Amino acid sequence: MYKIDYTTIIELLFNTKMADSYNILESSIRTMLQEEVATQVETTIDQRIHEIEKKYNQLYGELYSELEDRKYDHETYIERCDKLADLYDIEIDILYSSIGKEFDSAFTGSDEGELINYIVDARMELFETQIGKITLCNQYIRTNLNLENGDVVQIGGQGYRNEHLMFWSHARGLVYPDYKSGSDYGTVPSLFIVGNGPDEFSHLHWVEVIDYYDGFIWLSDTLQSEIKTTFVKSGDSYTTNIMIHGQPVLITSETPAPTKFQLFLDNKNKLHAYE
């Protein structure tokens, strides 16, 4: 008879954390880019103003040196200083336009808001491609969210048959569901291992978090070895009980060496095994 260690159960249950689910909307990505671009534009403007002021301070200095060398009278000096002041104002006035045209020659704006929106619109074009969308969402997650390994992300909100479903990995960023090993609804990727190790998950980690959850999970080598060595044959099937994160789980299989495991969603402490 399978012996239950209730102390272990309490400890593991207390430390077991279920997956969280996050929606990342296009509007959130745009807000992130607006903040990023605004900071970049402000930094660029400050640098350019510093460069312009340095240039005109040098020109004023040269004018004054020429005045001291008596190359012209004081009235001429004032006139030339006024012209330099006018040129300085013009460069400052067209600063946003100049920076915008460096970014894109088609830019026709003339103020900060127009420049920021123009650059953001250009960068948001990435969101129209799948690779670009994932890149932007990875950036958003790393800078704005505190996701854990295995958390669920819906890009653009929930879609039909989990079409927007992805999973978060600290090491790899957003990863697609595994559509080959389970069902076409999107199986939890095989890099997220179910087991009792410190970086392994409960078999219930994604229950009630994923719409149309197919229940396929990936057991650790340790658990698979335990299952194979403790199987009891009854007729044409094999059964055993194991502990996963402090909960007793019944395993049923038609083969003595299964490699795939699926949670019975109507009985969350029972797994069916496949070859």
Nearest to 190 by CA among 157, 221, 154: 221
Output the tens digit of pLDDT for each of the chain's 275 residues: 444 444 444 444 445 678 999 999 999 999 999 999 999 999 999 999 999 999 999 999 999 998 888 888 889 999 999 999 999 999 999 999 999 999 999 999 999 999 999 999 999 999 999 999 999 999 999 999 999 999 999 998 766 677 889 999 999 999 999 888 777 776 899 999 999 998 999 999 999 888 888 899 999 999 999 999 999 998 899 999 999 998 999 999 999 999 999 998 788 889 999 87
Q: Which helix (H) or strand (E) holds 268?
A: strand 267-274
Confirm if 193 and 201 have CB atoms less than 8 A apart: yes
- β-sheet bridge partners, residue 237: 234
Confirm if 244 and 194 have CB atoms less than 8 A apart: yes
pTM, whole model, 2 decimals? Answer: 0.83
**What is the rounded distance in angstroms from the CA atom of residue 271 to the CA atom of residue 217?**
9
Confirm if 152 and 210 have CB atoms less than 8 A apart: yes
Number of other CB atoms surrounding residue 83 within 10 Å: 11
**What is the rounded distance in angstroms from the CA atom of residue 185 to the CA atom of residue 207?**
14
Beta strand 165-169 pairing with 173-175: antiparallel
Nearest to 169 by CA among 186, 146, 187, 192: 192
Q: Which helix (H) or strand (E) holds 46?
A: helix 26-68
